[in-house]
Amino acid sequence: MCTNIRHQDTGPTLLLPINGIHLATLIIYISLIMNKNLFITIEGIEGVGKTTQIKLLEAYLKGKGISFISTREPGGTQVCEKIRNILLHDEMDPVTELMLYEAARAEHFSTVIEPALKDNRTVICDRFADASIAYQGYGRGVDIKLIETLNEIATKQTKPDLTIVLDMDLDQASERLRKRGTEPDKFERLDKEFYKKVRKGYLDLAVKEPERVKIINSLQSIEKVHQDIVSVIKY
Ligand SMILES: Nc1ncnc2c1ncn2[C@@H]1O[C@H](COP(=O)(O)OP(=O)(O)OP(=O)(O)O)[C@@H](O)[C@H]1O
Ligand SMILES: [Mg+2]
């Protein structure tokens, strides 16, 4: 968690009452608001609307004057983009795939995410460690404990403050991708059973960690999904 980053020392305080409120309380309150950066990850299977919602969230944070960065896994740096290229184009053993994702995650975390959090900025990340649990664990059958251990190493035991899982029926997500038209064969490359397992992986994570992982119904309109996201972020 980046709790240590967000709750910073507010310095010396005054104890003069103003209209019944102690000035000290007021200063702490303002300072907490100003220091409130969050690490937010957006998850879900292909075509559920992650990119669409991240753009709306970026505009929302900008409007609120919140300092943030927006990044994605497994990209973000030159090394990560190279690893991403291998992952997207070559078939491989599931454990090899997991380790490549974890290698990219370690690089991305230490060079992009961690410095931003230390700098007190909010971070929005398109997929993160939970994706390995869902895809390599539930989807490809790699041992979950192994994935959790590698996730801890790659992320220096940092968990997002909030993970939003956009969830919807597989056929409708596939239909959205067909309409988008950029990668018509994305769903066809892997069978439906695979995506059913991945979806279950995300739903199970929300049951296991209900405070952190929030499921949002992405069958709703773009605007309604955005409102639901904003309501859980509470900025
Ligand atoms: N709530 C929605 N209702 C209808 N269409 C939507 C909704 N959200 C997104 N779309 C459309 O569905 C398509 C897929 O959305 P988007 O690219 O945001 O998904 P994604 O989760 O980022 O996909 P990928 O996993 O491939 O990156 C886009 O054409 C987008 O305009
Ligand atoms: Mg996307």
18-73 residue pLDDT tens: 555 667 666 655 555 665 799 999 999 998 999 999 999 999 999 999 999 999 99
Q: Does 174 reside within a domain?
A: yes
CATH number at residue 197: 3.40.50.300
- pLDDT given for residue 134 in this prediction: 98
- pLDDT given for residue 192 in this prediction: 86
Strand extents, DSSP E, the chain: 17-18, 21-22, 39-43, 68-72, 122-126, 162-167, 213-217
Q: Does 19 reside within a domain?
A: no
Pocket of ligand 1 (CB under 6 A): 44, 46-52, 176, 179-180, 218, 221-222, 225
The tens digit of pLDDT for each residue in 109-134 reads 999 999 999 999 999 999 999 999 99
Pick from 71, 180, 195 the residue to mutate for probing ligand 1's pocket: most ligand atoms within 8 Å of its CB: 180
Among protein residues, the one whose CA lies closest to atom 9 of ligand 1: 49
pLDDT surpassing 80 at residue 8:
no
Q: Does 96 reside within a domain?
A: yes
Output the six-digit token pair for 232.
Answer: 């859980």
Q: Does 32 reside within a domain?
A: no
Q: Does 31 reside within a domain?
A: no
Residue 54 CA: which ligand 1 atom is closest?
A: 18
- pLDDT given for residue 234 in this prediction: 79
User: What pTM, to 2 d.p., does this model score?
Assistant: 0.85
pLDDT surpassing 70 at residue 175:
yes
Q: Does 13 reside within a domain?
A: no
pLDDT surpassing 60 at residue 4:
no
Angle at 39 between CA 227 and CA 183, to 5 degrees: 65
Range of the domain at 159: 41-233
Torsion of CA 173, 151, 120, 226, to 10 degrees: 10
Number of domains in the chain: 1
The tens digit of pLDDT for each residue in 189-228 reads 668 899 999 999 999 999 999 999 999 999 999 999 999 9
DSSP state of 74: S
CA distances from 202 to 79, 94, 142 (A): 27, 18, 15
Q: Does 3 reside within a domain?
A: no
Q: Does 92 reside within a domain?
A: yes
Pick the more confident residue, 154 or 26.
154
